[in-house]
Amino acid sequence: MSKIKIAFQGEPGAYSHIAINEVFKNPEIKTCSTFEETFKTAFEDDSYKIIIPLENSLAGRVADIHYLLPKYKLQIHAEHFQKVEHNLLSKNDAEMKDIKCVRSHAQAIGQCQKIIMNNRFKTIISADTAGSAKELAEGKDKSIAAIASKLSAKIYNLKILKENIEDEKGNVTRFLIMGKNVQQPEFEKGKKYITTCTFRLKSEPAALYKSLGGFATNQVNMTKLESFSVKNTFAQTNFYLDFEGHLDEKPVQNAMEELGFHTQSLDILGVYQASNFRTK
């Protein structure tokens, strides 16, 4: 049996890599330098799935993803909630007293301000956490540390100076597993589903209010609604929507019919089983 092929943005040891290891058994992985390259991989080769971080419980939405979702219109096959634990990594011959600078992704640095401020570390922004660990391993300067995962420390042979250095515990990132082919599960009573779509409203008064009225009258629970500007204009807005339910359920069909009546465009990005994390 051939291995599952999955692509992610970042270097080996990234939190996306950790999420892949939790979701898939021994997959064939491909690293991509940007999110755009990651989406393009699955768009051009339907044998690939991709895993994409959508939002973080502390930092909010991940930049650029909302613009890539409607551009490539890949289908969401599943969701995964990944616990994020940051660690301070160093060269093997370094000690805490040697560290003057810390390197990592901007979000990771923002989530570890206490240790940075208490030690008066200078910060260096990198493209991703695992990439910062890789750069540290390839360099010779032991005054620089990296904020990254334990998997990164293992892959790049780095020392963990301090574990779990994030300011707040319970840091979780929601990932989407996506691919080009539609894989909508059949509705089964007793199971919980999430439906995700993007839409653009007609330019008319109270369009958003009227478009969402069907969810209220049909008792369909919306779990996420976000707006994001259409590129190069302030005149139009796209919306991203998650709600509980399956398209084969009558209340969902009624709500979607009402939504569709008030939209210029409406794209279903996926119907998938809700993660057990949502019930915790």
Cα–Cα distance, 24 to 64 (Å, whole number): 25
Q: Please state whether beta strands 222-229 and 237-244 pair in parallel, antiparallel, or not at all (unpaired).
A: antiparallel
Neighbours of 60 (CB within 10 A): 10
Question: Which of 175, 199, 239, 243 is flagged as catalytic?
Answer: 175
Residue with tokens 């058994």: 25
Q: Spot the catalytic one: 129, 173, 195, 198.
A: 173
Backbone angles phi, psi at 40, to 5 degrees: -65, -35
- Answer yes or no: 173 catalytic: yes
Helix or strand (DSSP H, E) at 153:
helix 150-155
CB 168 within 8 A of CB 58: yes
* Residue 194 structure tokens: 């999430």
Report DSSP state, residue 92. T
Q: And the tokens for 280?
A: 């915790």
175 is catalytic: yes
Positions marked active-site = 173, 175
